[in-house]
Amino acid sequence: MASDVSADDNSVTLDPGQRASVLVEALPYIQAFAGRTVVVKFGGNAMIDPALAHSFAADVVLLRAVGVRPVVVHGGGPQIGALLERLGKQSEFRDGLRVTDAETLDVARMVLSGQVGRELVTAINRHTAVAVGLSGEDAGLILATQRDESLGYVGDVVDVNRTILDTLLDGGFIPVVSTIGADRHGQALNINADSAAIAVAAALGAEKIVYLTDVPGVLTDVGDPASLVSLLSATRARLLIADGIIAGGMIPKVEACLDAIEAGVGAAHILDGRIPHVLLLELLTDAGVGTKITRTDGSGT
């Protein structure tokens, strides 16, 4: 007999009828997304809270199990900053980007591929051994060019070689990509994770791109969680930015979603990574829990 207690300590016990309703509600979404690629930019609290990382890993594995092709792209800004501080090195930012000299680049490579990426791969593989960690340097995955000499080894994505990603996805694996790229001469470059996720999603023709953040989504009143906007067209999102309703730190998040849509991704989602299993709640339920941004007013799936 199945237990009435979920593995999550904060879960709610469901009776058999409720469990069946949840599964039935998820069915049309599972059918719609089967065989489709979903790129998830892993960040926010989910990146530094082991319990949330475990929850996220379970979500990704379940999506794969029902036929979705998930790709995870991650940064590691807080972890890079923490290690630099321990090494006695001051972080410097310009226009939101970390100035990356040779020493900082070494730290970024070590943290992204050796710590954050490995921890995420391990969390996924605890459920089933399907996660494969990649750096953007591997097999020429992310080709980049240096943005500005004043920023040091910071790059912009020029191209994504999707061959290795397709090979892994076709084999049933989950690629976990850390955002260090390389230029045509093999020089490593630190890439903004949001931008890298867009480039990967566009290259793969992804159905969706999902940003895990530390905010509920787009709020028309930042002090009122009930003002969450569940669905936004690209046109309305730009109007809300122009009117100052979308402001501050939410602007780059929404602009990243708009850039993804303009690059050909079907829809973009902003989710609160502090909510356990938020990925499943948004993608496989009627209500959803974050903000979905689409090209038009049509909701789609």
Note the pLDDT tens digit of each residue in 235-278. 999 999 999 999 888 898 999 999 999 999 999 999 999 999 99
Question: Dihedral of CA 155/157/163/165: which sign?
Answer: positive
Q: Which two tokens stand for residue 169?
A: 């996805």
Q: Which domains does the chain have, with CATH numbers?
A: 32-294 (3.40.1160.10)
Alpha helix (H) residue ranges in the chain:
16-33, 45-48, 50-65, 77-86, 102-111, 117-125, 163-170, 193-204, 234-242, 250-262, 278-283
Q: State the burial class of residue 210 (Cβ atoms within 10 Å of its Cβ: 0-12, 13-18, 19+).
A: buried
Q: Which two tokens stand for residue 214?
A: 């530390």
> Which one-letter amino acid corresponds to residue 217?
G
Chain segment 142-175, per-residue pLDDT in tens: 999 999 999 999 999 999 999 999 999 999 999 9
Q: What is the pLDDT of residue 285?
A: 84
- DSSP-derived secondary structure for 176-215: EEE-EEE-TT--EEEE-HHHHHHHHHHHHT-SEEEEEESS
Q: What is the pLDDT of residue 301?
A: 55
Residue from 295, 293, 290 nearest 262 by CA: 295
> Which one-letter amino acid corresponds to residue 135?
S
Least confident of 26-30, 72-76, 82-86: 26-30
What is the maximal distance between C-alpha atoms in the chain?
63
* Cα(166)–Cα(160) distance, integer angstroms: 12
pLDDT at 19 over 70: no
Check: CB of residue 177 under 8 Å from CB of residue 136.
Answer: yes
71 by DSSP, 3-state: which? strand
Query: What residues are annotated to the active site?
Result: 41, 44, 77, 194, 253
| Chain centre to alpha carbon of residue 28 | 23
Q: What is the pLDDT of residue 45?
A: 72
Check: CB of residue 131 under 8 Å from CB of residue 111.
Answer: no
Mean pLDDT value of segment 284-299: 81
> Which one-letter amino acid corresponds to residue 152?
G
* Cα(29)–Cα(9) distance, integer angstroms: 27
Q: What is the pLDDT of residue 8?
A: 46
Q: What is the pLDDT of residue 91?
A: 87
Residue from 117, 138, 130 nearest 68 by CA: 130
∠ Cα 71 50 33 (to 5°): 30
Chain segment 49-83, per-residue pLDDT in tens: 889 999 999 999 999 999 999 999 999 988 999 99
Mean pLDDT value of segment 277-286: 88
* Cα(262)–Cα(254) distance, integer angstroms: 12
Model confidence band, residue 14 (pLDDT cutoffs 50, 70, 90): low
Model confidence band, residue 179 (pLDDT cutoffs 50, 70, 90): very high
pLDDT at 12 over 60: no
Chain segment 125-150, per-residue pLDDT in tens: 999 999 999 999 999 999 999 999 99
Least confident of 3-12, 22-31, 215-224: 3-12
Question: pTM of the full predicted structure?
Answer: 0.89
Q: What is the pLDDT of residue 298?
A: 54
Q: What percent of the chain has pLDDT over 70?
A: 92
Q: What is the pLDDT of residue 25?
A: 84
Question: How many alpha carbons lie under 13 Å from residue 213 in its C-beta half-sphere?
Answer: 23
